[in-house]
Structure 1
């Protein structure tokens, strides 16, 4: 051996754990060449994994060997065979390639005399040991990862909305990162509404600052990590497991499963919102008095460059109204719905009383969910008994068990997220205060509201379309609560000054109507 190329390699993982270093390998190889009078033609330093030969520096070395001018016998020296390769199949292939161009691979700490046929046995041992080490290391790593997941830890790079952090003792964990966490919460809330599809929500979130590509977005909205659940995939005889995570969830489990229902098409989507200009708040709520089709709205440019807005029907129907006339008429009509302090107080008292007396609905829903949980547990118990008596085979029992566990997990999440009675009472009382405040001065509130809030208010008042004929309007029926308010307001004049307002001193027409606890936005 008169000359050789030196190859030194280390992986980052080994460099940290075992203390291997490129300079140390290089120094030993140079000392070996000096002691054996070997000319060093080049040194190639690699910091790359040896699972295959797709390595930058090895590619350069192989290219140099193939393009050398003199095709004399050449050598590649390294410390051990695990520096050359950790895959026995690829190692034999590369040895064959090197022999084809007149190059011999040699390890100075594990020398092989290729002139002796029996030495190939030692080569097989040297090459197989690193691959066996890799296999064992992979199994240990996988086992450690499964243990961490079963403990509720997220072991990968933090998903959108989270960040990787470490405890003082070095243990890793993830925690919400703002403002991404709030944006992800908003994403799930919008998806649950069903107004927009996933791609539309992604684009809206992108405009708000959430940088996420389409493919990754679909993955993260399917990931239960956001509701505090870690998925442990099946392995050998173990089934898939859903473990409560140690990190803080961004959303509730019920919201996550609600979004999954929308994405899977199991829940009917809400109709698309009608977009309207500020000057046309009633667009989408007006019905043509002639052909009873929906009126649309548009603006026309006048002679002096001004724009005039109209509500109008299709081309065949000539029905047309000035937008200002209709809007002003509607604003005057709102005065009929203004709540006096006495009516507002009565409305709140009656609704709260009815809500408390009918709060059994929440209890009934809890009982309903508890009944479903018992039903799933009975199915699972029955399947277990049939499996023990050989009525069903192992595959059928496994399928039934998986299906029941999934149903139980979703039902228990819904039961856990149901609000308690006190929280519900406070929530309803707060909503009523908002409704009474708005309807106590509804005309002013409507005029100062933006186009979106105006349309919400109109939609909450009229379940069916309005029909304006130029002088007045007709509608099939009002919202039940507002219809009652009109009747109460019309009876106020008959109540004596200082007399307490109650259903006893209202007209029989009002008393017969009763009241429905309907909460408006």
Structure 2
């Protein structure tokens, strides 16, 4: 393609930061746009549109990303996307599949990679590994957030948004705490008193609460009986709270006594004990396979007390698919997983490619850590200088305590961010190799796992599983489809 033809090619730019913190760490929107514009100019592309997002990609549905997808679907002239690197474009698998269906040419500028439908299978496979690593990275960030919440819980502070009846406020030490809502708190107390008498159902109590004016905080809609049920089960109104499977002694003001809360639990348990059904069996493939005749699910059923058979639910009418023994399905799935096998030389090549990718990733994390450490030192210098001012009488003790607490909280946040980058540095390569080893050992693992783990493994590797006339068909998820 000559230069004149390239000049007529249009490209869309996409930039994203996953949090305001990244704005401070050198990943800002303007910095990304400048990089991509320079690249477009050098490559001779016309920039048709620019799209940006400042939010997490834990869930698909980003505004700028969706606008770009809609634009690319409308515009046949623009089939090129320019982006800084893999985790700027998509950090979950749904985004990857969405763009893959559009037949685009995607330039990952910092990674020096261009992907299109004509790219080699090895390039696509390595790219798939990077997407999975990006998804794993944001999962790691979620874990770090959870650690911070756990620290607050251990201090007796409710670590999330205030439930109905409470408000989020700033405590005396600068930490966010909860305190009773003067308007809603008394209604919550009444809810427990009404239900504790045993004379009202949850629906009755919900109606009385609505009559007293209980509404949702944001939508202003009247509360539902399901919300009242949740309130009655929530321990937080006693002054204690449950978080991450443990009960903590809270420091906030209770709205009901422990005795009243326990009375409400007794009433609730008595009302529902006859309606509770326990799942007796954990079938390995229930809900995993669709019937190829009608699209309904295949479900497990025990016959003669010990044999497990699968059959179509028949929700759409009588289905011709006969019952199938679990052993037959297991044999078919095992046969599919057996196709996931690396030759030793291929495995070594892919691991080398991952190491090269890891070097680029490590350099970027190191740069971010250096900037964060500089920011930490700057804040410490501020605290030290302000302490001297306090000793010299230029500022008061109260002002010093307030500002020092604010800056130390910021230092704590910086330390957590440094730890996140260090963890990502250490785990990127190890987890990539673990992913490859999983693919290589999938067949052996499958045969040794209990039913729930078999289902989890199959869900990770396969999709669109159907059973028809005794034959199993399934698709391998990316990047495993490159290996099968």
How high is the TM-score relative to the length of structure 1? 0.44
Bigger Rg, structure 1 or 2: 1
How high is the TM-score relative to the length of structure 2? 0.47
